[in-house]
Amino acid sequence: MVSVALALLASITAAPSPAPGVASHCRQLETARTATFASNRRFLEAADLLHLRDVGRGEDGLWDDSPIAVSPDGKFVAFQVRQADPQSNSYCLAMYLLPVGSQAALGRVDVGGQLLTGTMSIRGLAAVPLGTAKTVVPRWSPDGTAIAYLRGDGGPAQLWLAKRDGSSARALTSSAIDIEDFEWAPDGKGFYLATRPALEAGDRAISEEGLSGFHFDNRFSPAMRSRPFVREPAPVEWALFDPLTGLSTPVSSKIADELNGLTTDPRLPAGSKQYHGERVAWAAQRAARYNAPRVLHISSPHVSASMCDMPQCEGVVTFGWTHAGDALWYVRRQGFALEEMAIYLWRPGQPPRLVHAVTGILSGCVGASDAVLCIEETAAQPQRIMRYELLSGAQSLLLDLNPEFRSIALGAVRRLHVKTDYGVEAFADLVLPPGHRPGQRHPLVVVQYQSRGFLRGGTGDEAPIFALARQGMAVLSFNRPKDYYTDPAPAWSDFLRAVQHDRIDRRNILSALDRLIDAAVATGTADPERIGIWGLSDGASTTQYALLNSRHSFKAVSLATCCEDPNTYALLGGPVLQDFLRQLGYPSWGGEGDPWATYSLAQNARRVTAPFLLQLADSEYIKSLEMASAFRDLARPVDMYVFPDERHIKWQPAHRAAIYERNIDWFRFWLLGDMDDSPAKQEQYHRWKEMKDARNVR
């Protein structure tokens, strides 16, 4: 019997004409492999950050399938380039082939489509939209003549095929629901397609329920929307699809298990595996406890399984076999506060050998003969596709995705290191204005809460670090230290209880922040009397706690999410969040006294005098109202903006451009006393001056 998913996939369109050329507003998407640049570098503008080209999701995509794919003959690598265009409020997308071993031209095999965004299951709510870009994974045909990939064009994600020679790119499916994933069939003629028909069926049932009123239950998250979510389970269903006939047939449970990463060999765990002939390798936690480090294992039919149990094998992110199959390469985090990422080569029975290490990010790493290809980025260097030779350690640049940055003057970046009061390692990057002179002290803006790759705009990309520095401010890009714990816990819930007990984790983070601000001030470049702070999500929580508990005084605050207060946070999360938090001992987390006395901004509005800029998604702003109302009742300065059709991570380029500009204006106004003379901003500055005047009167 054909499932709902198979029936929805049965209608297949004929191949349309090849995709058109690059649209006029996407001309900047194209980038040459080699270029010449002016000897005099110019200063950065916020637009330079907005128009960055990306492949994959960097730090956030370390656990995704790689966004780059090497052809079976090892001569080409395929990937999708993504670039935001604020003017059209859209994204420029194109699929490229890059020669691996020559300086031949970069070839475009498809262009167009719309951004695919990610979802996740949150406490049983299925497919909660996040706003993050979904990693588009190209996969080569077994004969290496074509690549297949997912593409969106205003409707459900479809399966597309592009010829290696660039002669055509076309949709293979016209599914009524999203295709979630796919694999080539072994014969290279068909595809295994993954869909979630239960989501579509559940959503239809919710629409019908609405005719007589939605029952308020554990499907609701009122802060996000007024419509119930579909509850899990909404499992993935796999079908074998023939593009020539348009027919889909169910796969066996054995094939489905293999496609889902489950194992049919009782000796092997579930999850990702790499095969080379009869040998299989996998990464698994050293112990069956939450947060235990992952290490490498190898097994073959005639040899007992072996494990790389040396310290430099811990913390494996991704891995693969060498061409000969006698060794494994792998990528891991290492160094102070795990600030580095490194590639190692391991031959069973020998110690691992370091191939390459970088203080930054290595994402999307894949094997290519006896080399590894990665997308590398560092604090002052945007993404580049690099090749690292496993035997010699030699490295070469395959493609600089943003060569224009070679002609842009960025402020100096200095890495600062501290240990918290609890002995946990932490770091931040101090960025100075370009042209900084010895003896100058600048206002300091704290941006949170990851600082591992290129310093764009913090987590969520809303506070443009180098653009703020360009305006004469020092910026402290703060990397949240690891969760406070002394030993991996039996389960996730136990782990949460341990790290949240009496807000120990929040106190640990604040200790790191305070000490890193101290370190920035100690350089003589940051003015301790003019400190601002920006945050989203965990960064907003850190800001909330710091405003009431830090030894530093913050003169301006900007938040992308807000806030956690007693009367609204759990309530607006819905019954599922309320039940979950109650099981963990919320809100006291096992501490004594009033848990809100040192945390709630609403309850402590009289203590906080810093002005607040709130730039919030329409799916989250309601959580800020308790705080905002308390502040307004006391005439405390709060300026709030709500962005339509947005998620936890805001995805619309026009919104990001507006947020960038307003954050720059906000910190310039409150920390530097500067204003933009644009006529369009006079109302904004009139409002802010009234806030400042009212605060000065008090």
Give me the DSSP letters along 462-505: -S-HHHHHHTT-EEEEEEPPPP--SS-BSSHHHHHHHHHGGGHH
Cα 83 to Cα 95: distance, rounded to the nearest angstrom: 12
| Distance (Å) of CA 248 to CA 1, 5, 7, 197 | 11, 9, 8, 14
Cβ proximity of 296 and 283 under 8 Å: yes
SS (H, E, C) 410-444: CCCEEEEEEECCCCCEEEEEEECCCCCCCCCCEEE
Phi, psi (5° rounding) for residue 73? -85, 0
Q: Is 648 a catalytic residue?
A: yes
Looking at the DSSP bridge assignments, the partners of residue 276 are 279
What count of other Cβ atoms lies within 10 Å of the Cβ of residue 503? Answer: 21
- Helices 682-697 and 653-667 cross at an angle (nearest 10°) of 40
Question: How buried is 229 (Cβ within 10 angstroms: 0-12 exposed, 13-18 middle, 19+ buried)?
Answer: buried
Strand segments, DSSP code E, in 59-202 are 69-70, 76-85, 90-99, 107-111, 117-122, 125-133, 139-140, 146-151, 158-163, 169-171, 181-184, 191-195
Phi, psi (5° rounding) for residue 113? 100, 175
CA Rg value for the chain: 26
Cα 315 to Cα 309: distance, rounded to the nearest angstrom: 11
Q: Which of 442, 552, 648, 655 is catalytic?
A: 648
| Distance (Å) of CA 487 to CA 41, 112, 315, 499 | 49, 48, 15, 10
Structure tokens belonging to residue 507: 């106190």
Q: Which of 620, 626, 646, 661 is catalytic?
A: 620
Cα 696 to Cα 185: distance, rounded to the nearest angstrom: 70
374: CB partners within 8 A, 6+ apart: 331, 343, 362, 363, 364, 365, 366, 385, 386, 388
Nearest CA among 242, 232, 168 for reference residue 9 = 242
| Distance (Å) of CA 618 to CA 225, 520, 641 | 9, 35, 9
Q: Which of 121, 141, 537, 629 is catalytic?
A: 537
Cα 289 to Cα 503: distance, rounded to the nearest angstrom: 22
Give the up-direction half-sphere exposure of residue 290: CA atoms within 13 A in the CB hemisphere.
Answer: 14
Using DSSP's 3-state secondary structure scheme, residue 523 falls into coil
SS (H, E, C) 549-609: HCCCCCCEEEECCCCCCCCCHHHHHHHHHHHHHHHCCCCCCCCCCCCCCCCCCCCCHHHCC
Q: What is the largest CA-CA distance in the chain?
A: 82
Give me the DSSP letters along 639-663: EEEEETT--SS---HHHHHHHHHHH
| Distance (Å) of CA 672 to CA 95, 239, 276, 499, 555 | 44, 60, 60, 38, 11
Q: Tell me whether strands 395-400 and 381-389 are parallel, antiparallel or unpaired.
A: antiparallel
Give the up-direction half-sphere exposure of residue 653: CA atoms within 13 A in the CB hemisphere.
Answer: 20
Catalytic positions are: 537, 620, 648
